[in-house]
Amino acid sequence: MKITKAVITAAGQGTRLHPCSKYIPKEMFPIGNIPIIKFSLDECLQADISEIGIVCNDTKEILFKYINDLKKNDSNYSDTVFTFIPQGREQGTAKALQAAEKFIDNENFYLIFPDEISYKDSFTAKQLCEAFFECGKISVVGLKEIDKKECSKYGIIRYSSKRKNKFFKIEEIVEKPKTNPPSNYALCGRYIFTPEIFSLLNKITIKGNEFYLTDAIETLAKQNKLFGYKFNNETYDTGNVYSYINTQYQYLLKGIDR
């Protein structure tokens, strides 16, 4: 048995990257000469995931064209089934995932926020898929270890135990703690969920103008149905100007030939 479906969220406007993201979808910003979204697609390929749903809106014509050209011209993706999933009104990460419920069709699945990338041959999706089955098919979130000074930028886990320094039994997720973070392990936009997540999404309430996926993940933690897995490799954030430039620098520094 394996994970065969992935969801990539790509409906956001990338406001932290304005004004450029008004004219170019943030998922199409280049790292070197590779669009950001290609790193997420490569992750799925490495994990042998054959069905990819991309949650988006109808303003992303460049993204549509890129995916269609990739399917047509790159033999690595000739057997991949792409599905564009309209989100409608943008109301946060929870609503983006809710839009994909029909596509998932009651299966376990991989969820990617493409702002966070991992480089070629890091096998991030493959690692998390293996962790999901090792944890007994309980929902798993990907983690990265960060400097405590950076904790105010991320969702940070509180955990009760860890195994092999990789597997964490999560008790709570503290969103962007300004002081006294419960650990220095942060969510990094990679998840494997059971279909149960959709029933939890239906129960969360709006905060400000958004529904947050973190609220549903919190419920899983309280029900003892959530593990964290610390990746072997580094992941890099592209969600704001500073982190995007730093990711470019790291890409060049590593001399990666793609």
Report how far apart, in Å, the C-alpha atoms of 255 and of each of 248, 251, 252 are: 11, 7, 5
CB 172 within 8 A of CB 158: yes
Q: How far apart are CA 129 and CA 85, in angstroms?
A: 23
* H or E element in which residue 83 lies: strand 81-86
What tens-digit pLDDT sequence spans the chain (258 residues)? 789 999 999 877 667 777 887 888 889 999 988 999 999 999 999 999 999 999 988 878 899 999 999 999 999 999 999 999 998 766 778 888 999 999 999 999 999 999 888 876 667 889 999 999 998 999 999 999 988 888 998 889 999 888 887 899 999 998 889 899 999 999 999 999 999 999 999 888 877 777 889 889 999 999 999 999 998 777 888 888 998 999 988 888 876 544
Q: Which residue has the tokens 């406001």?
A: 15
Q: Are strands 167-175 and 155-163 parallel, antiparallel or unpaired?
A: antiparallel
Query: Cα-atom radius of gyration of the chain, to the nearest Å?
Result: 17
What domains can be seen in the chain, in order of their start residue?
5-253 (3.90.550.10)
